[in-house]
Chain A
């Protein structure tokens, strides 16, 4: 049905998607707030004052989004490749712990070198955990969904153990590691804010990943793995090695995000740091539908929504979890959008009695679940 095709601009398609999603978020948010007995207008003003009213607030939004962008990449590349690493949460936390250790114990070094060391150590810590899960999946066929979910509890407890016993800062009351050396901290970009020059790291990672996933042969193979392992195998890809690579690189990015948090803002790992951030990254990857530029955008939007919800909590008294509820509802919509569109189209056909059968075969292809399980 050509009449349903959008007008022949290329660029606005993404813009329309963004605006539509934002519109839906705003409507659901306003409705939720009204149900809870708060004025959406007051909440909107509170959200504005908390996040966009001044340099400090805007820098805060960007600073919070940086680790989310990296872990969002981790989730995206993994899901795009057809693997479900749900252990990003704990890989990020172990990365933070490893980065914190490297930032304190590896003597004062030349600052750029030590920051790199912190980031790489964090990334490797995450990569090791993911590699173990991947190995079990690829060679023993242990379902990575369940094993990574279980690994979260084990790895997070292990990170807390590290902070409580061997690497504990004795001067702190609770399980916390030592504050990392000044040479391991990223320099502040705008003084008086939390924004650091770490932005450049994120930009560099984004550009590399953008090139890989949207411009290179590797990215095509990667997407092929996600669509069908059988096809990928017959296209000459070593499926086992590739699967290991997909999982391990997503773990590396999660660990990198954790170490980034340490070097940029937190400066030490302590128990309960960054809880939930890995799952936030998964949601961001899903709402961005695994596209690298979209991950950057939605991570910014997500961190804006989190801080806006904090502002709303302070001024209107609605618990900030309401933002997570709204976001989750929207992402559920995104996850089932193909079926949803099909359903809407079915209704439209019933109402307008238009001819044509829709595009059923194409949709079957999309909804095909993972092969070989």
Chain B
């Protein structure tokens, strides 16, 4: 039973930042842009959250700063791909590279350290007290160790799911991805909408970064996003426009990560368990593509 508790909490720790970034990616993909800058924006959000929390002394201000900076990064990314018509992949690769280098540079300049920064003055995001619910066997210890930001995910997914399915705004975002010309001829400002989408995406990546750096642990280390942005992107491609499937898939990959961590303590070459979340994501991507492929070939016969 300890094992289940361990794996569940590891899975949640892995999944929650991915879901935040994944919703950003989902909004972005629904509006027609496959945003590979999620990774860099999340990493930078983590850095900003740590730096702001350290200097302002409150994780809430840290989260706020991460969200504001994330919005600014999203806006800049939007300007590059929308207003200046850059190729979304080329801009995305460079953006990731820029933000990763920038975190290392700022880490050296502000804190005078290379690689990683941690301090007793760094306060993590408080955990939501559950009262008597915390006494539920097994589940209680997992649930009571989740931060406010983690719980905040539930209303966010509900809201996004509602907006996407049942509001004119969601319809417009989806229409943007399907046919920009149609949106333009409906009299809407396509460029402004895409910019808005990127801002929201950046904000969500900011929260994802804050949860990553101040959630389960309180530190920043260079490259700590470790491909989570790419995994989020892969999940978005897998699940399409289904927000709750995103949560489920992220949790499933989180479980493989938890299993991986456990396996590393066993007598297995450490590299294979470390590969696990990436390999499973890739495999899932291939299987879904295979299913689609089989379906289309069957239809054409």
B119 contacts the other chain (Cβ, under 8 Å)? Answer: no
Beyond A150-B231, A324-B98, 6 extra complex contacts between A and B, CB < 8 Å: A140-B289, A153-B227, A158-B271, A321-B105, A339-B83, A340-B84
Closest to A35 in B: B109
Contact (Cβ within 8 A) A335 B98: no
Contact (Cβ within 8 A) A145 B97: no
CB B221 to nearest CB in A, in angstroms, measures 15
A84 contacts the other chain (Cβ, under 8 Å)? Answer: yes
Contact (Cβ within 8 A) A325 B98: yes
| CB-defined contacts of B95 to chain A, threshold 8 Å | 332
Chain B positions within 8 Å of A, measured between CB atoms, are 34, 36, 80, 83-91, 93-95, 97-98, 101-102, 104-105, 108-109, 114, 226-227, 230-231, 233-234, 237, 269, 271-272, 274-275, 278-279, 281-282, 285-286, 289-290, 292-293
Contact (Cβ within 8 A) A343 B275: no
A350 contacts the other chain (Cβ, under 8 Å)? Answer: no
A282 contacts the other chain (Cβ, under 8 Å)? Answer: yes
| CB-defined contacts of A36 to chain B, threshold 8 Å | 109
Contact (Cβ within 8 A) A143 B271: no
Contact (Cβ within 8 A) A153 B278: yes
CB B80 to nearest CB in A, in angstroms, measures 5
* Contact status of A86 and B93, CB under 8 A, knowing A164-B269, A339-B84: yes
Contact (Cβ within 8 A) A150 B278: yes
Contact (Cβ within 8 A) B97 A142: no
Query: Which single member of B98, B102, B269, B286 contacts A161 (CB below 8 Å)?
Result: B269
Closest to B101 in A: A324
Query: Which single member of A165, A279, A343 contacts B93 (CB below 8 Å)?
Result: A279
Can you list, as one digit per residue, whether each of A255-282 has a CB less than 8 Å from chain B (1) or not (0)? Answer: 0000000000000000000000001001
CB pairs A–B below 8 angstroms (29 shown): A84-B89, A140-B286, A140-B289, A141-B292, A149-B36, A150-B230, A150-B278, A150-B285, A153-B227, A154-B275, A154-B278, A154-B282, A157-B271, A164-B271, A279-B97, A282-B93, A286-B93, A319-B109, A321-B104, A321-B108, A324-B97, A325-B98, A325-B101, A328-B98, A332-B94, A335-B86, A335-B94, A343-B83, A343-B84
Closest to A332 in B: B94
Can you list, as one digit per residue, whether each of A138-166 has a CB less than 8 Å from chain B (1) or not (0)? Answer: 01111101110111111001101100110
Contact (Cβ within 8 A) B98 A329: yes
- Assembled-state Cα–Cα distance A199/B278 (Å): 37
A1 contacts the other chain (Cβ, under 8 Å)? Answer: no
- Assembled-state Cα–Cα distance A322/B101 (Å): 7
A165, A282, A319: most-surrounded residue (chain B CB, <10 A): A319
Name the prevailing secondary structure of the A interface residues. helix
Contact (Cβ within 8 A) A141 B289: yes
CB B200 to nearest CB in A, in angstroms, measures 21
Name the prevailing secondary structure of the B interface residues. helix
CB B252 to nearest CB in A, in angstroms, measures 15
A69 contacts the other chain (Cβ, under 8 Å)? Answer: no
- Assembled-state Cα–Cα distance A335/B96 (Å): 14
- Assembled-state Cα–Cα distance A353/B90 (Å): 34
Query: Which single member of B85, B87, B108, B233 contacts A146 (CB below 8 Å)?
Result: B233
Contact (Cβ within 8 A) B105 A322: yes
Contact (Cβ within 8 A) A339 B85: yes
- Assembled-state Cα–Cα distance A294/B98 (Å): 22
Which parts of A275-302 form the interface with B (CB within 8 Å)?
A: 279, 282-283, 286
Contact (Cβ within 8 A) A146 B109: no
| CB-defined contacts of B36 to chain A, threshold 8 Å | 145-146, 149
| CB-defined contacts of B93 to chain A, threshold 8 Å | 86, 279, 282-283, 286
| CB-defined contacts of B237 to chain A, threshold 8 Å | 143, 146
A338 contacts the other chain (Cβ, under 8 Å)? Answer: yes
Can you list, as one digit per residue, whether each of A111-148 has a CB less than 8 Å from chain B (1) or not (0)? Answer: 00000000000000000000000001001111101110
CB B257 to nearest CB in A, in angstroms, measures 12
A331 contacts the other chain (Cβ, under 8 Å)? Answer: yes
- Assembled-state Cα–Cα distance A142/B290 (Å): 9
CB B191 to nearest CB in A, in angstroms, measures 12
Contact (Cβ within 8 A) B293 A335: no
Query: Which single member of B101, B104, B275, B290 contacts A157 (CB below 8 Å)?
Result: B275
- Assembled-state Cα–Cα distance A321/B47 (Å): 16
Contact (Cβ within 8 A) A160 B87: no
Query: Which single member of A79, A153, A286, A367 contacts B94 (CB below 8 Å)?
Result: A286
